Amino acid sequence: MRYSQYLLTTLKETPADAEIVSHQLMLRAGMIRKVAAGIYNYLPFGLRAVRKVEEIVRQEMEKAGALELLMPMVVPAELWQESQRWEQYGKELLRLKDRKDSDFCLGPTHEEVITDIVRGAVRSYRQLPLNLYQIQSKFRDEIRPRFGLMRGREFIMKDAYSFDLDEAGADAAYEKMFQAYRRIFERCGLKFRAVEADTGNIGGSSSHEFMVLAESGEDAIVSCSSCQYAANVEKAELIATAEATPEPAMDLQKVATPGMKSVEEVTTYLEVTPQRLVKTLVLQTDGGETVAVLLRGDRELNDIKLCRLLGCNEVTLASEEVVQQVTGAPSGFAGPVGLELRVLADHEVAAMADFIVGANAADSHYAGVNLQRDFTVEAFADLRLTVAGDPCPRCASPLESWRGIEVGHIFKLGTKYSEALGATVLDDQGKDRVLIMGCYGIGIGRTVASAIEQNHDENGIIFPLPIAPFQVLIAVVNPKDEAVLKASEDLYQSLQQAGVEVLLDDRDERPGSKFKDADLLGIPLRLTVGTRGLKEEAVELQRRKDGERTMLPLAGAAELLA
């Protein structure tokens, strides 16, 4: 590719609305461009990285025996009504009507559609096991789209679904996907952990998240170096609380006043275990004491359900400054990080209060209420999640803690969808059997962003070779010098013939700005062709990763790199 004919506009300044490094660098390197909140254009340079990840995913999925297909993004409501998720899913599901007034949604995930395919096409156990996958744009109307491709509303996901006759088969399918995911993220050059996770909204019996380790990550995870236990903090907490006395739920009863919802009412309504109600918050109002409940769990689901329970339209999250003001949380408080926690107040309080939650760097979680009236916070709840140094639930060794970005998630689904939609096959006795499912997602764009989050320096991106948009950049120092241009062209041609992906920077720009762009773009290898080097019949090779330079003889340079 010739830079002079390529659409690649770099930015010198860091865009003001980009909070994390990967988002800043992806904008500055001309990889993506915002269309609307959480909706992006993938520009040519960015798309190449996205396609690289897709290709790795495809290869590993095929190796694991999965078959690629493509489902529609627009899904009729009927399918979602069969699983009852049409009612349950909440505001993340973007619903729309066609000209005949029929209901549709933009698929945020495709369990219903795939189960519909299988119930129609699979009749006999002989057609099993089956694992079907697609790489496709999903839409989720995220409450807080941010960080560029990291949390978009429209984003590319690889989603796979396995179908088996029995538990043993389903376990084997899960294990295969687990191993495929390890290989995928290893090949993408990522430092990651596979952690035990809560099954949340999608349901099912067990699940792992693949977490890329990064300070900017929205998830908190703990791991044990003695026994290899690793879990999402939320899951670790559930295990720890389940094993201990169910004290948090009892807190609620202790302070509940007449007219308040009971623990049972709340947990039944929210479909959560009492262990998820973690602490109570007591508010002093004009009319006496009112109780709020802190809730940990799946964010969006709770939002919706909380709204219904409280009879309000929205549960709002306040800014970090407001959180700090109201709660007196220490500085360094990272507001948006702790969104797993929810504050639940009774109806009247909800109407007047904004809910705010957050977490500080040490993962002690705080919650408070933004008071617009004569409220005072009587007791401010201070929750402590599992943190570094806490005993491992398996072997009691001290745990380590990390922040992570969820790039992949695998679930054992069981029969939730096959039962609801009636996906059965005949077994070898001629008896109808409900299929056992698994589902397996990877955020493609989020994986690219995570790789940049882990691989960059102050000058720009440092692409891991397997996902780099190009492997080699040729910096033509002075394209007006004919010998330089010719040598660069020759190199460009022979590298391309050898199958190397090359970006030839043939622009009429000062060398300094070309080198700056080269650093920003993060192409792993840079060949610099200039008048001085050519006098010695040599070109300079520089590695982006560590800046290491070597002179290569012009004659054999292409062969050396190919």
Chain residues binding Mg ion by CB under 5 A are: 406, 409
Q: Which is nearer to ligand ATP, 80 or 515 (CB)?
A: 80
Residue 151's binding partner out of ligand ATP, Mg ion, none, with CB under 5 to 8 Å set by partner kind: ligand ATP
Across-strand partners of 358? 366
Question: Which of helix, strand or coil describes residue 475?
Answer: strand
CB closer to ligand ATP, 204 vs 443: 443
CB of 152 to ligand ATP, least distance (A): 4
Of ligand ATP, Mg ion, none, which one sits near residue 539, judging by CB under 5 to 8 A according to partner kind?
none
> Which is nearer to ligand ATP, 109 or 324 (by Cβ)?
109
Q: Which is nearer to Mg ion, 409 or 526 (CB)?
A: 409
Q: Which of 355, 378, 372 is nearest to 288 (CA)?
A: 378
From ligand ATP, Mg ion, none, interface partner of 446 (C-beta below 5 to 8 A by class): ligand ATP
Name the residue nearer to Mg ion (CB basis): 338 or 368.
Answer: 338
Pick one of Mg ion, ligand ATP, none as the site partner of residue 402 (Cβ within 5 to 8 A by kind).
Answer: none
| Closest separation in Å from C-beta 307 to Mg ion | 17
**Shortest distance in whole angstroms from residue 203 CB to ligand ATP:** 12
Taking the complex as a whole, how short is the minimal distance between the CB of residue 449 and ligand ATP, in angstroms?
Answer: 8
Residues 6+ apart with CB under 8 A from 16: none
Give me the DSSP letters along 384-410: E---TTSBPTTT-PBPEEEEEEEEEEE
Residue 155 interacting entry, from Mg ion, ligand ATP, none, C-beta within 5 to 8 Å by type: ligand ATP
Nearer to ligand ATP, 261 or 446 (CB): 446
Out of Mg ion, ligand ATP, none, which partner does residue 335 contact, by CB within 5 to 8 A per kind?
none
Identify the DSSP state of 2. B
Contacts (Cβ under 8 Å, ≥6 apart) of 404: 192, 193, 195, 209, 211, 212, 213, 214, 217, 219, 220, 221
Task: Pick the closer one to Mg ion by CB: 45 or 147.
Answer: 147
What are the backbone angles phi and psi of residue 298, rounded to the nearest 5°? Answer: -65, 125
Residue 533 touches which of Mg ion, ligand ATP, none (Cβ within 5-8 Å per kind)? none
Interacting partner of 407 out of Mg ion, ligand ATP, none (Cβ under 5 to 8 A depending on kind): ligand ATP
Burial class from Cβ neighbours inside 10 Å (0-12, 13-18, 19+) for residue 159 reads: buried
Q: Among ligand ATP, Mg ion, none, what binds residue 346 when CB lies within 5 to 8 Å by partner kind?
A: none
Task: Give yes or no for a contact between 31 and 49, defined as CB atoms under 8 angstroms apart.
Answer: yes
C-beta nearest to Mg ion: residue: 409
Nearest to 23 by CA among 533, 330, 453: 453
Closest CA to 31 of 15, 21, 20, 42: 42
User: Which residues sit at the interface with ligand ATP, rule CB under 6 A?
Assistant: 109, 140, 142, 151-152, 155, 157, 406-409, 441-443, 445-446
Nearer to ligand ATP, 2 or 34 (CB): 34
What is the full DSSP assignment across 224-239?
A: -TTT--EEEHHHHHHH
The label of the residue with tokens 């069969």 reads 82
Residue number with the smallest Cβ distance to ligand ATP:
443
Indicate the burial class of 494 (C-beta count within 10 angstroms; 0-12, 13-18, 19 or more).
Answer: middle
Residue 524 CB, nearest distance to ligand ATP (Å)? Answer: 25
**Rg of the chain on CA atoms, in Å:** 27
Smallest gap from Cβ 561 to ligand ATP, in A, equals 33
Residue 144 or 510 with smaller CB distance to ligand ATP: 144
Q: Least distance to ligand ATP from the beta carbon of 407, Å?
A: 5
Q: Which is nearer to ligand ATP, 138 or 507 (CB)?
A: 138
Residues 6+ apart with CB under 8 A from 328: 380
Closest contact distance (angstroms) between CB of 135 and Mg ion is 17
**Least distance between Mg ion and beta carbon 217 (Å):** 11
Q: CB nearer to ligand ATP: give 30 or 443.
A: 443
CB of 242 to ligand ATP, least distance (A): 21
Q: How far is the CB of 12 from Mg ion (least distance, A)?
A: 34
To 10 degrees, what angle do helices 263-270 and 299-310 make?
A: 130
Q: Which does 90 bind (CB under 5 to 8 A by kind): Mg ion, ligand ATP, none?
A: none
Using N-to-C axis directions, what is the helix angle for 444-454 and 21-28, rounded to 10°? Answer: 100
Question: Minimum distance between the CB of residue 22 and ligand ATP, rounded to whole angstroms?
Answer: 12
Q: 414 CB contacts (<8 Å, ≥6 apart)?
A: 170, 203, 204, 205, 436, 437
| Listed residue (247, 273, 237, 226) closest to 363, CA to CA | 237
The tokens describing 312, both together, are 């309000």
Is 193 or 446 the residue whose CB approaches ligand ATP more closely? 446
Rounded to an integer, what distance in angstroms lies between the CA atom of residue 355 and that of residue 352? 10
